Structures are given as C-alpha cells and as structure tokens.
C-alpha cells in the first residue's frame, strides 16, 4: 500500500511526500523480502532523482541492484511476482532518466556541481542501458510497462540528439501504448512529442508526432 501511494505521489509531482512514504515503508526493512526492498529502493531512487538529489539517487539505485541480486523467488509473496528483471531495470532506469534529462542542460548546477559532457554521457548511457533492457525483457503480459519504458527510452534518445533512432524506438512504444489505457503513458507520449519538436522537419519524426497525436486523442 505504501509503495503504491509513494509512486502515485511521485507521478503527480509530490516527490517529497513520495520519498517520505517510501522511507516509512523501509523503517522495518528487515521484515521485508529482498524483492520488496529492491522495489522500494527503486521508488526511493525515483523520488531522489525528481528532487535533484544526485548522490542519493545513485546510492538508492546501487542498493536496489544489490537487493535484486538477493532475490529467491520461493521467498517472495505472490503479489511481488511482477517484479522481475525487466521491471527492475525499468524502475531504476526511470530514475536515472531524470538525471540524464536534467543533464541535457549542460552547465546546470545539480547538488552543487556543474554538469559537464562527460558526466551527462554517463547518465545517458546508464539510463539507456536500463530502459532498453526493460523494453526487451517485458513480455506481452506487461505491455503497459514495456510501452512506458520504450517511450522514456525514445525521449532520452531524442534529447541526446539521435532523432532517427528515437523515432524507431518511439514507433514501437506508441504501438504498445495504443493497446492500453494509461494516463501515465499518455503523459509520457506528450513529453516525447515535446522532445521531438526540434526535429519535426525530419520525416520519421514528423510521422512519430502524428502517431502520438492520434494515440493521445483517441
């Protein structure tokens, strides 16, 4: 319950409250399974990233990875079965995505440090690797998660300056998103369209933006 409340808070822009809820859920972490701790640490990373707290984001991602490596499926509760490798990569990838997108404004000060090209390249590479793994790992049973990770990957690729590849990734993600009804997926598609706007003169990008408009309006 607390994890769902935290994710909802983070999604609607109340990351500070989301972080509070996650940390409250982690008060007795010793009573949780490794999967539950991994899931909560990934949510914590997303809250930290939204708040611009870079060192804490990376630490939470590392802790989430560590807990995920300790999972024994037989010890997990039935409701945690969804949290497989693809879900973990997607959740942590979404956290690093926010750092990478912030870093696109080179020279921006985050946590008292000026973002430079080398640092930003690290963020982009890490987020891209995790989101791509999520897209490839999600089965048809988790098409919504696959769509959201794919849209985020397309947005990051577009923002990083590869519109042709971003359009290819985005087409598949928009197709996936068209099979589900999700406000979050629609919000993410609108974000992708905004990132694509500077490249709208390219045919593949223009077609992607047209498909996004149709998907969001439909």
Residue pLDDT, tens place only, 118-151: 667 889 999 999 999 999 999 999 999 999 999 9
Highest mean pLDDT among 1-15, 90-104, 201-215: 201-215
Q: Is the pLDDT reported for residue 107 higher than 90?
A: no
What is the pLDDT at residue 41?
Answer: 97
Percent of the chain with pLDDT over 90: 76
- Whole-structure pTM value: 0.90
Higher pLDDT, 66 or 7: 66
Q: Is the pLDDT reported for residue 110 higher than 60?
A: no
Higher pLDDT, 161 or 46: 46
Pick from 57-61, 106-110, 144-148, 210-214: least confident: 106-110
Pick from 90-99, 109-118, 173-182: least confident: 109-118
Tokens at 162, concatenated = 């590869």
Q: Strands 113-114 and 109-110, how do they pair? A: antiparallel
DSSP string, 133-165: HHHHH--GGGHHHHHHHHHHHHHHHHHTT-HHH
Burial (0-12, 13-18, 19+ Cβ within 10 Å), 12: exposed
What is the pLDDT at residue 178?
Answer: 86
What is the pLDDT at residue 122?
Answer: 87
What is the pLDDT at residue 119?
Answer: 63
Q: Is the pLDDT reported for residue 17 higher than 50?
A: yes
pLDDT band for position 12 (50/70/90)?
confident
How do residues 77-87 score in pLDDT, each as one tens digit?
A: 999 999 999 99
Q: What is the mean pLDDT of the chain?
A: 90
Percent of the chain with pLDDT over 70: 92
- Dihedral (CA of 158, 162, 163, 167) sign: negative
């Amino acid at each position: 319950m607390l994890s769902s409340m935290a994710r909802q808070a983070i999604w609607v822009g109340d990351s500070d409250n989301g972080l509070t809820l996650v940390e409250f859920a982690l008060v007795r972490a010793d009573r949780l399974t490794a999967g539950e701790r991994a899931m909560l640490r990934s949510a914590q990373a997303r809250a930290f990233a939204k708040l611009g707290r870079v060192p804490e984001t990376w630490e939470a991602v590392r802790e989430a990875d560590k807990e995920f490596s300790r999972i024994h499926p037989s010890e997990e509760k039935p409701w945690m079965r969804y949290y497989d490798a693809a879900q973990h990569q997607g959740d942590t990838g979404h956290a690093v995505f926010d750092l990478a997108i912030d870093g696109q404004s080179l020279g921006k000060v985050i946590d008292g440090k000026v973002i430079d090209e080398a640092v930003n390249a690290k963020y982009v590479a890490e987020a891209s690797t995790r989101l791509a793994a999520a897209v490839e790992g999600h089965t048809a049973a988790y098409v919504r998660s696959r769509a959201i990770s794919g849209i985020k990957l397309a947005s990051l690729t577009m923002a990083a300056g590869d519109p042709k590849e971003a359009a290819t990734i985005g087409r598949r993600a928009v197709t996936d998103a068209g099979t589900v009804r999700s406000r979050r997926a629609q919000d993410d598609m609108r974000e992708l369209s905004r990132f694509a706007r500077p490249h709208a003169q390219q045919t593949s990008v223009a077609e992607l933006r047209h498909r996004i408009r149709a998907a969001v309006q439909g």
